[in-house]
């Protein structure tokens, strides 16, 4: 059996690995580390939870142990799709490089540019970044990538899902052609394969498991829910989720609950808190400080339930997650593999529950086609019927936004008339019924004196404005925009004809 001592790593790196409690590498580590130490490009394909981060971190530290960093010119570059994954790579670097003098910088959003600029100006050996923030620093002239010796792309398939592929292509073009490239992904889409063919030089392909397979240590179960009414579906799903968590009892030490939409993440977290569960949300719209604090609380056990969007579905290494609940069936079949891969890591046992409604049939079919086997069916636990009966129907939720949208009207279109039950303002009521306004006035009150405004001198702008109103007078009558009262008579030429129109013009006799 291969051990880390057989992989020709730097002695300082081996010391850190031993102190971290690792002796035997995973299959992806045992195959990728020797090839990376020889300087070859590596294309690694392995399912989530197999230790891909150490596969590039350990050889990277070993190779960079010789040399010196220069200001604004990092010696290596690690790209990650999310802030959390980038921060996790930085933590792994701190663990394995603690006996070396190598430096690092973490470039992610939600953090001050000034602090990151100071680190770059001093010079760093390892630059860990998300694509967007990296390009921000480059465009500001604070960073040069011409000194990159090793470039790592982690979770490449997630990069594709998040639309980072154009940024990745641009970053590749900014780095030297002689660099070494380590490319890791859980799946191999056609777009990712195109990039590897373009930017990797004769890579060694390491595939330790069939693409998009789930770990054997995960017990999967699909719970099919048929809502009693359409407007009760969301509430009944929440009731079923609570019943599942309670049925697991103490076996559910902690869990990640995945939702498809950020707004649903907040609603589910609030609902669980209301029913006495220790829960906290995490998604991309939260401040980075809040996301970091929530993840730390989940890791140290102060938060039991983490309700998350797919921002937590890729790459986050939290080994002791006992359960995963898919509150929503993922719309992308690959995301199912990544979601349930948050449990059952490093040989541990785990459970994954998925709640599905009849509208999720096409997504379930795609998942089962990807896994090449049907998902095991389960039934709702005891106590769900009572919880579902007490669930209140939800208001109609918009798929795009909860804010009311403003309707647009074409030019010349009349504004919609108010409904019969719409409230009438005081001004409209007085204008529409002047007799009633006079009748309801107090009898003993003296009539108010009307103020007579002095006529102001006519300006050129006023005249041009009047001419414009005259030209649009008929249009104003048709669409209700004109200032003239409809009851006023139309003033025109009438019977009066100007004299110059009555004159006769005769040719002068020659």
DSSP string, 289-347: HHHHHHHHHHHHTS--EEEE-GGGSSS---TT--EEEESS--SSHHHHHHHHTTSS-TT
Instruction: For the full predicted model, state whether its pTM sits above 0.95.
Output: no
> Do 4-207 and 218-389 have matching folds?
yes
Mean pLDDT is lowest, of 4-8, 46-50, 306-310, for 46-50
pLDDT band at 509 (very low <50, low <70, confident <90, very high): low
> Are 355 and 235 contacting, i.e. CB atoms less than 8 angstroms apart?
no
> Are 324 and 259 contacting, i.e. CB atoms less than 8 angstroms apart?
no
pLDDT band at 203 (very low <50, low <70, confident <90, very high): very high
Q: Which two tokens stand for residue 467?
A: 């001419």
* CA neighbor of 212 nearest in space, from 42, 306, 328, 330: 330
DSSP-derived letter for residue 441 is: S
Residues with Cβ < 8 Å from 148, sequence gap 6 or more?
A: 74, 75, 76, 77, 175, 176, 179
Going 259 to 261 to 266 to 270, the CA torsion angle's sign is: negative
pLDDT band at 470 (very low <50, low <70, confident <90, very high): very low
DSSP string, 482-501: -SS-TTSPPP--TT---HHH
Decide if pLDDT at 490 tops 60: no
What pLDDT sits at residue 230?
A: 87
Write the burial class of residue 11 (CB in 10 Å: 0-12 exposed, 13-18 middle, 19+ buried): exposed
pLDDT digits (tens, 9 = 90+) for 107-129: 998 888 999 999 999 999 999 99
**How far apart, in whole angstroms, are the C-alpha atoms of residue 414 and residue 294?**
52
Decide if pLDDT at 478 tops 50: no
Give, to the nearest 10 degrees, the angle between helix 131-139 and helix 165-174.
Answer: 50
Which CATH number, 3.40.50.300, 3.10.20.810, 3.90.650.10, 1.10.3720.10, labels domain 218-389?
3.40.50.300
Strands 126-129 and 76-79: parallel
The three state secondary structure string of 132-153 is: HHHHHHHHCCCCCCCCCCEEEE
CA distances from 108 to 137, 289, 353, 453 (A): 11, 12, 33, 64
Please, which residues bridge with residue 184 across strands? 44
What pLDDT sits at residue 179?
A: 95
Residues with Cβ < 8 Å from 404, sequence gap 6 or more?
A: none
What ranges do the domains of the chain cover?
Answer: 4-207, 218-389
pLDDT digits (tens, 9 = 90+) for 36-68: 999 999 999 887 667 889 999 999 999 998 888
DSSP-derived letter for residue 231 is: G
pLDDT band at 358 (very low <50, low <70, confident <90, very high): very high
b/e burial code for range 114-147 (CB count within 10 A of at least 16 → b):
eebbebbeebbbbbbbbbebbbbbeeeeebebeb
> Are 253 and 320 contacting, i.e. CB atoms less than 8 angstroms apart?
yes
Superfamily per CATH, domain 4-207: P-loop containing nucleotide triphosphate hydrolases (3.40.50.300)
What pLDDT sits at residue 166?
A: 93
**How far apart, in whole angstroms, are the C-alpha atoms of residue 218 and residue 211?**
17
Decide if pLDDT at 158 tops 70: yes
DSSP string, 275-305: TT--EEEE-TTS-HHHHHHHHHHHHHTS--E
């Amino acid at each position: 059996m291969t051990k880390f001592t057989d992989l020709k790593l730097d002695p300082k790196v081996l010391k850190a690995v031993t102190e971290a409690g690792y002796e035997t590498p995973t299959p992806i580590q045992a195959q990728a580390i020797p090839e990376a130490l020889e300087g070859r490009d590596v294309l690694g394909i392995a399912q989530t939870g197999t230790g891909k981060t150490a596969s590039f971190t350990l050889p990277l530290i070993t190779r960079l142990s010789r040399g010196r960093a220069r200001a604004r010119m990092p010696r290596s570059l690690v790209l990650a799709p999310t802030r959390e994954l980038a921060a996790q790579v930085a933590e792994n670097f701190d663990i394995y490089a603690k006996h070396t003098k190598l430096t690092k910088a973490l470039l992610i959003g939600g953090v001050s540019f000034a602090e990151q600029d100071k680190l770059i100006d001093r010079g760093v050996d390892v630059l860990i970044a998300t694509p967007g923030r990296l390009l921000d620093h480059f465009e500001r002239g604070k960073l040069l990538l011409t000194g990159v010796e090793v470039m790592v792309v982690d979770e490449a398939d997630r990069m594709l899902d998040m639309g980072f592929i154009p940024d990745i292509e641009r970053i590749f073009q900014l780095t030297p052609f002689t660099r070494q490239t380590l490319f890791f992904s859980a799946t191999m889409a056609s777009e990712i394969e195109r990039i590897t063919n373009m930017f990797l030089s004769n890579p060694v392909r390491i595939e330790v498991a069939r693409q998009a397979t789930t770990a054997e240590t995960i017990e999967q179960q699909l719970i099919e829910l048929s809502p009693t009414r359409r407007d009760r579906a969301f509430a009944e799903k929440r009731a079923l989720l609570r019943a599942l968590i309670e049925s697991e009892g103490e076996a559910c030490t902690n869990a990640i609950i995945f939702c498809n939409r950020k707004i649903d993440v907040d609603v589910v977290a609030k609902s669980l808190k209301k029913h006495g569960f220790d829960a906290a949300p995490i998604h991309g719209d939260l401040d980075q400080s809040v996301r970091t604090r929530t993840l730390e609380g989940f890791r140290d056990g102060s938060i039991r339930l983490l309700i998350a969007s797919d921002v937590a579905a890729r790459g986050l290494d939290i080994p002791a997650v006992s359960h995963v609940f898919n509150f929503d069936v993922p719309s992308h079949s690959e995301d199912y593999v990544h979601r349930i891969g948050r449990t059952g890591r490093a040989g541990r046992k785990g459970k994954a529950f998925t709640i599905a409604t009849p509208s999720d049939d096409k997504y379930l079919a795609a998942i089962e086609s990807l896994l090449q086997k049907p998902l095991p069916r389960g039934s709702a636990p005891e106590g769900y019927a009572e919880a579902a009966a007490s669930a209140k129907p939800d208001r109609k939720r918009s798929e795009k936004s909860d804010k009311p949208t403003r309707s647009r009207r074409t030019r010349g279109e009349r504004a919609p008339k108010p409904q019969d039950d719409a409230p009438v303002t005081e001004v409209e009521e007085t204008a529409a019924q002047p007799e009633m306004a006079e009748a309801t006035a107090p009898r003993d009150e003296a009539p108010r004196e009307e103020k007579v405004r002095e006529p102001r001198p006519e300006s050129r702008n006023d005249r041009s404005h009047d001419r414009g109103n005259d030209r649009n007078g008929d249009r104003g009558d048709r669409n209700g925009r004109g200032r003239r009262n409809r009851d006023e008579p139309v003033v025109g030429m009438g019977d009066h004809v100007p004299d110059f129109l009555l004159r006769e013009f005769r040719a002068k006799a020659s």
